[in-house]
Amino acid sequence: MSASHQNACDDAVELLQVHNATLDTVISISGMTCGSCVSAIQSAVSQLPGILSFDISLNEDRGSFIHSAAIVTAKSIAQSIEDCGFDVEILSSNAQLRGPDLDDQDDEAIETTALSPSASACNVRRRQSSGHPQCNAMDEPSAFCRLKVSGMTCASCVGNIERSLSSRTGIHSVVVGLMNERADIKYDGSIYSENDIVAIVTDLGYPSTLVSQDELKEQVDLLVEGMTCASCVGIIERALRDKDGVISASIGLVTKRCRVEFQRDEVGVRDLIGVIEDAGHFKARLAPAETNVEDLKYQDEISKWRFVFLFSAVFTVPTMIFMFNPPSFNLSYRPELNNTSRLLTRGLDLRALVMWILSTIVLAVSGSPFYKSSYMALRHRTTNMDVLIMMATSISYVYSVVVIIVAMIKKSEVPDFFFDVPPTLITFISLGRWMEHIAKGKTSQALVDLLSLQAKEACLVELSLKGLVESERTIPLGLVQTEDILKVLPGDRIPVDGKVISGQSSVDESMLTGESLPVPKAADDVVLGGTLNQTGMLLIRSTHVGKDSTLAQIVRLVEDAQTSKAPIQFYADKIAARFVPGVLVLAMLTWVVWMIVGAAVPSVLQDKRCTADESAGQSRPAFSNATNGTSDDTTPIECAVENAFLYAVTVLAIACPCALGLATPTAVMVGTGVGAKRGILIKGGEPLETTHKVNYVVFDKTGTLTYGKPRVVLFQLVDALRSSFSPGVGRDLIVRRALAIVGSAESGSEHPLGQAIVDHAKEELRVSQLGEVSDFQAVPGCGLRCYVENLKFLFADSPQTTRLQPAKAHPLSEDLTEETKFEVLIGNREWMHRNHINVTSAINDNMEKNERLGQTVVLAAINGHLTAMIAIADTIRTEAPVAISSLKSLGITPVMLTGDNFRTAKAIAAQVGITSIFAQVLPSHKLQKVKDLQDGLGLGESDPAAKGNPVVAFVGDGLNDSPALAQANVGIAIGSGTNVALEAADIVLIKNDLQDVVAAIDLSRVTVRRIRLNFLWACIYNLIGLPIAAGVLEPAGVHLRPWMAAAAMALSSVTVVCSSLLLKRWRPPTGQLCVEADASNRRRVRVKASGHYSLQEAV
């Protein structure tokens, strides 16, 4: 706030106070980000006396305040807002005077001062309201809605809407934005509904529609530092979910990412960060747009815990030497001196002093991270793993100090102490934390590898009109735009997704697709950013850059998957939330029980209390650290207290919720990472867990079981023509001529079957252009008629056919000239009959034979002579039969779903080995078929998989598959499918390989087994370790010391993480399950599923 503005404001207030003025002050407010900021300002201002009404505009960063000049000044209002953490500046102030001489006159607005050149802005968003602000809608039922308002042209329109709404009873606040055409309205929900508000604004002449609440939802990723165990995760998630406006919150302990979905009109990102930091010793910040590789490697945490461990180990080693107390290391033991000479003073000897000093140093330095964490947790009335460590070390240390001081005061013998517990406990736990973070870094290795694929720079080139490189320069990757021409040298990584425009090479795509062999690339081929160019130079045109690239999307999917939680994790979270308080209660109960046992049956402890060590010339307590064995006059109460503390501390030391918290997320991270490296993208822990339960896998036929593109599988001359030529060059030439003529004729057609014939002709003839077509005529449902000419250039190097004339004249046997012209008919039987072409029974039988295989068969006639039969089919994928056989071997029922008639569907299903078919299914009915299977109605009552609640996976690729993908328990999309299908799916197969469906299911089963094994280990560890630590097996002579418990606790977390890391050894079951496939299926793969017959095979 400038000094000149402030002085002018003060002068105006002094002048107006004598007139009992009401001021309308407009203040600029900087720093507001959401509705929560507005609420904070409203709450602060409403506490000021003399405020009659106010209106805060979030969109324009200003507020209008009507207040009594005699009670509260503009400066006081500004100071109140500034105290909330916002920057303020008084823009203007207008006054309305009501003096004694003006009672019978209308109110007159007098502008007393202009504090800003934009004083006219002071009238924006003013709302008159009477009474004290607390009489406003603070205690009334409040509702909120956002409208899309059309028809506003200027600030006057804004004012009309605000004044009209504000004058109505029950309307609390109105904020209208002219530029974004939106209105935010808070109102009394008991008086108005959302539709009422829409109708009111529309009646004012501004057509309005309600903005969906989903549009107000926002999602943010935060990085949270300071979490140590599953208890921390539960604390933060509960705190966030209790915050108004937060819809959901999910935290990954390993990734340190917190994903929060919230209503942006109720809460902002800054509020969320505040909630997290107020929940304990945590630090939160916005997650960067691009993941930092160093964050995934845990380098800072590894360095921190390495230092803590090494520092504490230096002082713990001598402590453990004294702890075991062999005579050769007993600094206080001097046989040549009498017993009293061992003491520094009564109650304290040299050994006790040294261990005291060592323990204090370890606690002060290495123990500080644990103490800081536990202090912040207790300060916020929460508990975590560090609280247990803090209590165990503190109790041991304080107890030891107290008994030593009491012994020194009483001048008694050196008492039993536990100075060994703090350093050994901290050393073993810090060692465990160090190893745990190293292992955590390895669980993120797949994501680190993906991020490392990204190139840092790109070579941008400019081409001349002739396609030659004119110039080139190296630019940062972030400056690459779509349609840029980039040069990629051999050995370089391809910077972005693009299409090859020049050059030939082979590209290693193994890191993205899992394809082990290099993929050849030539002009018009698609290349992916992050893949490695191997042999030749390529010029590519960029198509997808930045976050739209395939690599960026894969990284995002993997990050999302590793942040999300599997359903089984929620059970672990519930246990972990109650684990620490439960352990504290158990430790207290252990202390009480052993105190009672020691007092009631002292012989139980005293019989084992001391054991003679004649070789050392001293007696030594079995369970204590006493230097010189305390005498036999040790009271039972002292024995009971010592042992009760020992067992209670051991319980605190051995308890570990970390293993429970790490069991699922580490396995999910490794599992999804391994899948991503092999071209299987699993979108989170839930689909990963659900997939292992799949009973049915439903395949959409077109584009999934088949290639989704019609192909010519048979081009065959009719028997009469074929028998006229002897095998060899002559017949081959006639076949090539027939293919050229038919392919040229179909080049005028837009039908998919016609395009398949054209592609086949170009591929077999190895040409890019066919003959000329004229007088083209197509009859839907029948066929086409046209004339083809100018074919001589296709056979310039072929021998003339005068020496190869058949017995009967045929137009294909004539020598080609520039003027040679052919009349071509292509179509079905009906089309041939209409044009008086005779179709013999032999040809008809041959057609029916191919049609039974699910193929579409057409005939071709040239110059009135029936010439060829062409079979076209959407051929099955090469790997489909093996994938289906593998699914069956896993006990899963494969189902085919298609819109084809039953005969065609049955033929296709027979080729791949599927027996369960849904045929003639409209695209809109696919969802219902999936639902029927989920309800157990799909395949009849005899189907064993229909019992209970079957789990259904749907595999598809098209736009019309997206509803079924969403309905299925697990949606699996082929990577070449539409974007809508990929978005709706739970699993994406990048390689378009159906065997990856089997691999995904197998990976899910292996990962879930690993999760269960981790849980089993964590539960067994705690269920067995805690009772032993509490002394349950003491009657059998089995007991644990605190340092043993600490070592076991540290080992438990490391064991769980290492167990998850074993998932890296997983390999897809390809080649193993194939052996179990039916032999006939394997033969069919080699013959039928090759996808394309060569010309020689067809003839």
1011: left (phi over 0), alpha (psi -120 to 50) or beta: alpha
Half-sphere exposure of 540 (CA within 13 A, CB side): 32
The 3-state DSSP composition of the chain as helix, strand, coil percent (nearest 5) reads 50, 20, 30
Half-sphere exposure of 366 (CA within 13 A, CB side): 30
Q: Which tokens belong to 920?
A: 């003639």
Strand ranges (E), 683-792: 696-700, 711-717, 772-779, 783-789
Please choose, from the candidates 875, 881, 828, 832, the residue with its C-alpha nearest in 3D space to the C-alpha of residue 853. Answer: 875
Let me know the angle formed at the C-alpha of 1009 by 1008 and 1011, rounded to the nearest 5 degrees.
Answer: 60
Q: Of 55, 484, 497, 700, which one is the catalytic site residue?
A: 700
Q: Which amino acid is at 764?
A: E
Let me know the angle formed at the C-alpha of 857 by 868 and 880, rounded to the nearest 5 degrees.
Answer: 125
β pairing state of 208-210 and 142-149: antiparallel
The position carrying tokens 């001598």 is: 318
Q: Give the list of residues 6+ apart from residue 653 with CB closer than 8 angstroms, or none.
A: 388, 389, 392, 421, 425, 1029, 1042, 1043, 1045, 1046, 1049
To the query of whether residue 700 is one of the catalytic residues in this protein, the response is yes
Report the alpha-carbon distance of residue 819 to residue 822 in Å, rounded. 10
Let me know the angle formed at the C-alpha of 703 by 698 and 704, rounded to the nearest 5 degrees.
Answer: 30
Is residue 699 within 8 A of residue 896, CB to CB? The reply is: yes
From the centroid of its chain, how far is CA 130?
Answer: 52
882: left (phi over 0), alpha (psi -120 to 50) or beta: alpha
Per-residue burial over 268-305, b if 16 or more Cβ lie within 10 Å, else e, is bbebbbebbbebbbbebeebeeebebebbbbeebbebb
CA dihedral 394, 395, 398, 401 (to 10 degrees): -120
Report the alpha-carbon distance of residue 308 to residue 296 in Å, rounded. 21
Q: What is the DSSP letter of 630?
A: P
The sheet carrying 680-682 orders its strands as 680-682, 987-989, 970-974, 952-956, 696-700, 893-897, 916-918
Q: What are phi and psi of 812, to 5 degrees?
A: -70, -20
Residue 353, exposed/middle/buried by CB under 10 A (0-12, 13-18, 19+)? middle
CA dihedral 822, 826, 831, 834 (to 10 degrees): 10
Please choose, from the candidates 917, 940, 947, 870, the residue with its C-alpha nearest in 3D space to the C-alpha of residue 698. Answer: 917
Is residue 753 within 8 A of residue 858, CB to CB? The reply is: yes
171: left (phi over 0), alpha (psi -120 to 50) or beta: beta
Report the alpha-carbon distance of residue 1030 to residue 585 in Å, rounded. 12
Report the alpha-carbon distance of residue 933 to residue 608 in Å, rounded. 68
**How many other CB atoms sit within 10 Å of the CB of residue 816?**
21
Q: Which tokens belong to 131?
A: 């009474």
Q: Give the list of residues 6+ apart from residue 559 with CB closer than 8 angstroms, or none.
A: 255, 257, 291, 447
Report the alpha-carbon distance of residue 1043 to residue 1029 in Å, rounded. 11
CA dihedral 747, 753, 757, 763 (to 10 degrees): 100
* Residues taking part in catalysis: 700
